[in-house]
Amino acid sequence: MSEVTIKSIAKALNLSPATISRALNDSHEIKQATKDRVLAYAKAHNYRPNPFAKNLKTGKTNLIGVVIPFLSSPFFLEFIEELYRAVMPLHYTLIPFQTQNQETLEKEALDFLTQQNVAGIIISPAHENSNATFLEKIHNDTCPVILFDRIQHGLKTHKIGIHNSMETYKATEELINKGRKKIAFLCGKDIGNTKDRIRGYKNALHNNSIPFTEDYIIYADYQDPNQDIDEELRSTLSALQDRNLLPDAIVGGTDTLSIKILGILADLKLHIPEDVAVIGFTNTNLADYLQPALSTIKQPTQKMANLAVELLMELIAKVGKRNDMDYQSFLLPSQTFYRKSTDI
């Protein structure tokens, strides 16, 4: 079977190639009856547009850059999968990069993507204001940029995340309601959502008349989820145990730490949830199979991905200066699953 092209459709319908092209691109210059006729023929004969020919004319591609901290994180991996599902029907292709929370790697990724003339970029920044000037220039002059997850960044654009302080507030209060008073918060150092999540944790303590203890904010400094930080965390918890300050509950502020802490507590001969209850952020589908099953705050990756693509397509289609547009921050609801690790 020969390839269906604009020229072959034009010949079959006795129309000019220019008319076919305009009809396929929904031009206002073409009558609706002609558009319907062309689209029906194209669909019946499985016509697929040639992105390379289009790129030569417009200077743009059907590529979308996705810049995330870690490909190995359950949350970011699931988000990438949902993005693929969202862009495939639109005939776009993703180019994913990971930055390992390093601003220099983020800059390299952004340089590469702009050189490839991507149509847009979806990014979870390495830090609160990483590459701020460069991202602003890209967004205003090159292609639209959408922020997700780590939305504290100063870039003026659409931002998609969750209500981090509220989610950690609810998780902390759940532990308080189960009788836990010595609650620690485990978080990544210099990670974008940390401040908001700590604020929710502190507010829950305050509103339940539990004094805040600085020792119970446990920072883990890592650049990669696969990095061996177990010994650092084991040492920190052992020191608290030696000082008779061992927490009776832990809220994990990242998916990596939420999973790791189960093994570390087991190494210290502590029982979960009898000695220490654990709840944390993680989108892993294996939470039910961990030992014990881990209570988790699961972020709405499908809704986040679909909204990111929808907003990006709108910005790609708009003509005019993007720095003059009205932008919104979207805080989507998460879902909490309570399992054995908090079954006190």
Q: Which of 43-57, 118-132, 254-268, 276-290 has the highest mean pLDDT?
A: 118-132
- Please report, rounded to a whole number, the percentage of residues in the chain having pLDDT higher than 90: 63
- Is the confidence at residue 336, as pLDDT, over 60? yes
- 108-112: Cβ within 8 A, 24+ apart: 109/65, 109/67, 110/65, 110/67, 110/134, 110/135, 110/138
Residue 319, classed as helix, strand or coil, is coil
**Nearest of 248, 163, 154 to residue 200 by alpha carbon:** 163
CB-based burial label for 183 (10 Å; 0-12, 13-18, 19+): buried
Question: Pick the residue with more confidence: 308 or 256?
Answer: 308
13-61 residue pLDDT tens:
999 888 888 888 777 788 899 999 999 998 888 887 665 555 545 556 8
Query: Distances in Å between the alpha carbon of 297 and those of 123, 166, 182, 191?
Result: 22, 11, 20, 18
Are 264 and 307 spatial neighbours (Cβ–Cβ below 8 Å)?
no
217-245 residue pLDDT tens:
998 876 655 557 888 888 999 999 999 99
156-172 residue pLDDT tens:
999 999 999 999 999 99
- Is the confidence at residue 294, as pLDDT, over 70? yes
**DSSP secondary structure letters along 244-268:** T---SEEEESSHHHHHHHHHHHHHT
Query: 92: which 2 tokens?
Result: 């776009």
> Quick one: angle between helices 74-87 and 301-317, nearest 10?
50
Q: Report the alpha-carbon distance of residue 169 to residue 289 in Å, rounded.
A: 26
- Is the confidence at residue 84, as pLDDT, over 50? yes
Q: What is the pTM of this model?
A: 0.80
> Quick one: angle between helices 164-177 and 194-207, nearest 10?
40
Q: Which residue has the tokens 């059907």?
A: 62
pLDDT confidence tier of residue 323, bands split at 50, 70 and 90: confident
pLDDT confidence tier of residue 296, bands split at 50, 70 and 90: very high
Which residues of the chain does CATH 3.40.50.2300 include?
58-162+301-333, 164-299
Q: What angle do CA 196, 79, 92 make, to 5 degrees?
A: 130
* Domain range 164-299, CATH architecture: 3-Layer(aba) Sandwich (3.40)
pLDDT at 258: 84
| 58-162+301-333 placed in CATH 3.40.50.2000 | no
Contacts of 245 (CB under 8 A, 6+ apart): 182, 213, 215, 216
Number of neighbouring beta carbons within 10 Å of residue 45:
12
The whole-number average pLDDT for the span 139-147 is 95
Are 159 and 148 spatial neighbours (Cβ–Cβ below 8 Å)?
yes
